[in-house]
Amino acid sequence: MQTACLSFLYRHIRHFVITQTKDLENAIEVGDKWLHRLYPIFKYIAFHFKIPPSLETKLYDLTFSSPLTIASFKDDWTVFRIWLDMGMGGGTFKTIMSHPRNGNQKPRIIETNIDGKKGLINAMGLPGKGVSGLIDYLQKQDLTTIKKPIGFSVGGNSTTEYLQNLNRLDAFLAKKNISYYLEINISCPNTPYGQDMIKHPNLLEKLLEDFRRTSQTILGVKLSPDQNNEDLLEFATLIKEIPRTYINIGNTSYIKSTELFIGGGGLSGPALFPRTLEITQLLSPIGVPLIATGGISSAKEVTQLLESGATLVGIATQLVLDPYQIPIINKKLVKHGHLEKRN
């Protein structure tokens, strides 16, 4: 009941903030500032939810307290931490590129409504602090107080840059007393080189082999729902050959939109779910662990994906629209025995 009230309150405040600000990105920034202020005061009343022990899930030697994970899209540690406190089992930080970037021109994120279901279209273009900036930022955060696996997503304009970024972050994180993994984003639809490796699987193969020569850190590859099934199977077969890897299915799906400055971007939210389920069913027989991401907003969908072979699920849009669904989903997964068939 308490969670349902908080969810109601959150959605109404969010609606109010959006109507008061000119653009969705501004509304998100205002919302995040409020979360920073409210979290220390109301931490245990409004942002802390226990995760039932039966939801614990393993990815190799990493232990996630719930199969729900934060998909890569946020680079604010406080907000990230709030979602972990609310019941996410772990999560991946926003993709970082080599150097600081402003991303694409605004407007670059809008809300959309497909068949009555709210989603987002974004053309952010991977704005961020760059690897050095991220390392400086992380130095200042209380990373070790989180006992959950944290992923770091890496991008690049060439395979050399990807490898350098992976190695730099890995070297930094290895010295911290935290449980972490790395993910390479080869499926961003919003940057000029964001999908180069999708067109050239041999580049990905070399990158994975090169990284594995020097590190045993768990490494994920984020694929795109826009790849055809044949390509996805080829990638999964290639990734399976490299130890301690996983596949993240998947990124946003490209769609045109005149409301965005650059004329199109990545669709996220419930419209993606049927494709996420289809790809999970397609790739699970290959035997690489899967994080199924795309369109998840209910316990029923989480169950479908886990029963289809996903190890974990990733959530982004639902966290923006209403993060109080996290404790609700965790509770329902246990109540309805959804996860009993997992093992």
Report the interface residues with ligand FMN, using CB under 6 A. Answer: 71-73, 94-95, 109, 120, 122, 124, 126, 153, 185, 222, 251-252, 268-269, 272, 293-296, 315-318
With respect to ligand FMN, which residue has the nearer C-beta, 317 or 330? Answer: 317
With respect to ligand FMN, which residue has the nearer C-beta, 17 or 340? Answer: 17
Distance CA 150, CA 137 (A): 15
Distance CA 326, CA 315 (A): 10
State the minimum distance, in angstroms, from the CB of residue 307 to ligand FMN: 19
DSSP 314: E
Measured distance between the N- and C-terminal CA atoms of the chain, rounded to whole angstroms: 31
Handedness of CA 24, 222, 148, 297 (dihedral sign): positive
State the minimum distance, in angstroms, from the CB of residue 136 to ligand FMN: 19
Element (H, E) at 246: strand 245-249
> Which amino acid type is present at position 249?
I
Which stretches of 159-281 are assigned E, i.e. beta strand? 180-185, 219-223, 245-249, 253-256, 264-268
With respect to ligand FMN, which residue has the nearer C-beta, 66 or 268? Answer: 268
With respect to ligand FMN, which residue has the nearer C-beta, 1 or 208? Answer: 208
Distance CA 204, CA 196 (A): 9
The owner of tokens 């972050």 is 169
With respect to ligand FMN, which residue has the nearer C-beta, 153 or 325? Answer: 153
State the minimum distance, in angstroms, from the CB of residue 271 to ligand FMN: 8
State the minimum distance, in angstroms, from the CB of residue 230 to ligand FMN: 22
State the minimum distance, in angstroms, from the CB of residue 314 to ligand FMN: 6
Element (H, E) at 96: strand 90-96
Handedness of CA 70, 128, 193, 258 (dihedral sign): positive
Question: For residue 239, what are the contacts with CB-CB under 8 A and spacing of at least 6?
Answer: 204, 208, 221, 245, 247, 288
With respect to ligand FMN, which residue has the nearer C-beta, 177 or 333? Answer: 333
Pure H helices in 217-324: 229-240, 273-283, 299-307, 317-321
State the minimum distance, in angstroms, from the CB of residue 247 to ligand FMN: 12
State the minimum distance, in angstroms, from the CB of residue 40 to ligand FMN: 26
With respect to ligand FMN, which residue has the nearer C-beta, 268 or 284? Answer: 268
With respect to ligand FMN, which residue has the nearer C-beta, 91 or 175? Answer: 91
Six-digit token pair at 1? 């009941």
CA angle (158, 207, 147) in 5-degree steps: 105
State the minimum distance, in angstroms, from the CB of residue 109 to ligand FMN: 5
